[in-house]
């Protein structure tokens, strides 16, 4: 097996005390000192205004929108009043407990799957099977006395989670195959991969969603129908895979030729070399870019507004049509932005931790 080397970079500010660091980076000259003071004053002024609007003068709870209109700050009461339709969309109101339980199962499964100590197929496969069955039963219903809810009524944050998870689980294997195919020695495999990537990467995601919803059913036999949510998930996943494939191809190109020669010298075949030597190194090299596209895929789920699915952003837009609370749309959209920020930042933090584990040789 080829050995992997670890390199460390020297950062002169890494172990510097706060006092010397401030002097070196913020107050090392008259001009820089003046710039630091002016910038600090502007930031403090903006922060004070933001705190005044969002905290000190804000209305945190009320059922009367007139109270918010009389206030000079933010109306966070709109979140308290409208959080259930914002988070759960068109799903039947009295069945929201099922979505809350579904999200708890989903998040617990994801957290366990991302923990290195759980990286064992004997554990992960049963875990995901049980989780998928539980989520399917809770979302669909129709058994155990649960009311049946069609996918057309799904919405809010659970729909965003399902679309994002389906995009990554379907898209990542396809991306790896496309990246390998584009560098394959077989001209047919290379040509098909190039055409597939360039054709789908060159069109907007909206076009792919339109094809998945309106054009794809025209090619099905009469009487045959594929669930619209599944078609949309596959469409977003393929779009994601085409971009991710180019990222992975960049990692593959960074592997030195000597790695392939070393594998050939011990009589490893193409798939053995790719699986055990080349692909693990390539994925490590391009991990930051992979994370970037995964976060982008989470935000791309908001495009389903075009084809009538009520993800968390679309559900919020619909909820804010209420004339009593319509004027407080800023607070509602800030809440949605906070949800996206939370999950995006969590993915970013995990990716950095993963890079740290790799650098330490723990995985």
**Amino acid 1: pLDDT:** 41
**Amino acid 217: pLDDT:** 80
Question: Is residue 60 domain-resident?
Answer: no
Question: Is residue 95 domain-resident?
Answer: no
CB 322 within 8 A of CB 82: yes
**Amino acid 68: pLDDT:** 86
pLDDT lower than 50: segments of the chain: 1-10
Question: Is residue 80 domain-resident?
Answer: no
Query: What's the CATH number where 173 sits?
Result: 1.10.3720.10
Name the residue range of residue 339's domain: 149-359
Count of domains for the chain: 1
**Amino acid 137: pLDDT:** 94
Question: Is residue 74 domain-resident?
Answer: no
Question: Is residue 109 domain-resident?
Answer: no
Nearest to 73 by CA among 87, 56, 97, 86: 56
**Amino acid 10: pLDDT:** 46
Question: Is residue 182 domain-resident?
Answer: yes
353-363: pLDDT as tens digits:
888 888 877 66
């Amino acid at each position: 097996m080829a050995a992997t080397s670890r390199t460390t970079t020297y950062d002169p500010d890494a172990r510097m005390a706060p006092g010397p660091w401030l002097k070196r980076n913020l107050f090392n000259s008259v001009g820089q000192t003046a710039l630091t003071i002016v910038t600090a004053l502007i930031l403090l002024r903006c922060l004070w205004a933001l705190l005044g609007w969002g905290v000190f003068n804000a209305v945190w709870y009320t059922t009367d929108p007139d109270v918010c209109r009389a206030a000079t700050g933010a109306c966070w009461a709109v979140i308290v009043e409208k959080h259930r339709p914002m988070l759960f969309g068109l799903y039947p109101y009295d069945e929201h407990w099922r979505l809350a339980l579904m999200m708890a199962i989903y998040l617990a499964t994801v957290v366990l799957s991302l923990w290195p100590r759980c990286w064992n197929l004997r554990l992960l496969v049963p875990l995901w099977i049980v989780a998928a069955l539980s989520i399917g039963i809770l979302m669909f219903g129709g058994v155990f006395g649960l009311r049946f809810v069609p996918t057309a009524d799904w919405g809010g944050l659970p729909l965003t989670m399902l679309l994002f998870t389906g995009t990554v689980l379907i898209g990542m294997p396809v991306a790896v195959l496309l990246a390998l195919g584009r560098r394959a020695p077989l001209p047919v495999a290379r040509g098909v991969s190039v055409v597939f990537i360039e054709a789908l990467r060159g069109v907007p995601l909206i076009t792919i969603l339109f094809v998945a919803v309106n054009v794809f059913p025209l090619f099905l036999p009469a009487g045959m129908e594929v669930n619209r949510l599944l078609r949309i998930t596959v469409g977003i996943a393929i779009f994601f895979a085409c971009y991710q494939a180019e990222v992975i191809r960049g990692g593959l190109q960074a592997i030195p030729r000597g790695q392939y020669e070393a594998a050939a010298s011990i009589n490893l075949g193409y798939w053995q070399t790719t699986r055990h030597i080349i692909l693990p190194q390539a994925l490590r090299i391009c991990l930051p870019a992979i994370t970037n596209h995964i976060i982008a895929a989470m935000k791309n789920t908001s495009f389903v507004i075009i084809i009538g699915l009520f993800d968390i952003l679309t559900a919020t837009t619909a909820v804010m049509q209420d004339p009593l609370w319509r004027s407080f749309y800023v607070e509602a959209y800030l809440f949605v932005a906070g949800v996206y920020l939370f999950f995006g930042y969590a993915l970013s933090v995990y990716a950095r931790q993963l890079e740290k584990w790799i650098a330490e040789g723990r995985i």
